[in-house]
Amino acid sequence: NAGVTQTPKFQVLKTGQSMTLQCAQDMNHNSMYWYRQDPGMGLRLIYYSASEGTTDKGEVPNGYNVSRLNKREFSLRLESAAPSQTSVYFCASSEAPGAYNEQFFGPGTRLTVL
Amino acid sequence: AQSVTQLDSQVPVFEEAPVELRCNYSSSVSVYLFWYVQYPNQGLQLLLKYLSGSTLVKGINGFEAEFNKSQTSFHLRKPSVHISDTAEYFCAVSANSGGSNYKLTFGKGTLLTVNP
């Protein structure tokens, strides 16, 4: 099992460009999450999907959109990138909704917006 | 709402020494508590978690943590560290409100550096 995979690993964008970060999991998990990690800030939840067909905002959703394409895939889109979105983005999944469930993380996407 | 404070941003120790990484939380309801570890250039992985029951929780790689409700703490300990334990450690908390709560709040992290 690959677990949680993310593409790309690295990306450099110019201000105003758009891009989609891809995430897939092969553990048959119901719930998926997108976080951003900034130095000294820990991880902050951007969006989550409790189950296929549902998505909800997390702590820092502004400037992002998500799509739960199917049970395996959960993508994060930046419509018009800004330098404040320079960060490391992590996708995670858990077997079921409920924060008591262990979350499994992907390796991250390091995004720089110039 | 809940919050997490990791009291040390960096902890340098020598190999085979004991270590304690401190975590305090704040919540108006009962909580679930977690420690995650992030090795360089990798994602996070779960070290251990407290959901209920025994307040002393054992995790992977010889780590353990103790839930102290009166002091609202969940400190992580290891009696003897190895070079390979060098990583960033995150404490996280979630409100115990059944399956309807999905939000995991992370602390800012503690960088553990084990020196030879």
Two tokens at B85? 């334990």
Q: Which of B49, B99, B109 comes nearest A97 by C-beta?
A: B99
Chain B residues with CB inside 8 Å of A103's CB?
44, 46, 104
Q: Is the pLDDT of residue B31 over 80?
A: yes
Tens of pLDDT along B60-105?
999 999 999 999 999 999 999 999 999 999 999 988 765 556 778 8
In this prediction, residue B10 carries a pLDDT of 96
CB contact under 8 A, A98 and B102: yes
Mean pLDDT, chain A, as a whole number?
Answer: 93
Q: Which of A42, A100, A107 comes nearest B107 by C-beta?
A: A42
In this prediction, residue B98 carries a pLDDT of 56
Torsion angle of alpha carbons A112, B11, A46, A111, nearest 10°?
A: 10
Name the E strands within chain A.
4-7, 10-13, 19-25, 31-38, 42-49, 56-57, 64-68, 74-78, 87-94, 104-105, 109-113
Two tokens at B7? 């009291």
In this prediction, residue A8 carries a pLDDT of 96
**Which residues numbered 12-31 in A keep a CB inside 8 Å of some CB on B?**
31
Two tokens at A88? 């490391």
In this prediction, residue B86 carries a pLDDT of 97
pLDDT (average), residues A44-58: 92
Residues 6+ apart with CB under 8 A from A62: none
Q: Is the pLDDT of residue B40 over 80?
A: yes
In this prediction, residue B100 carries a pLDDT of 56
In this prediction, residue B80 carries a pLDDT of 97
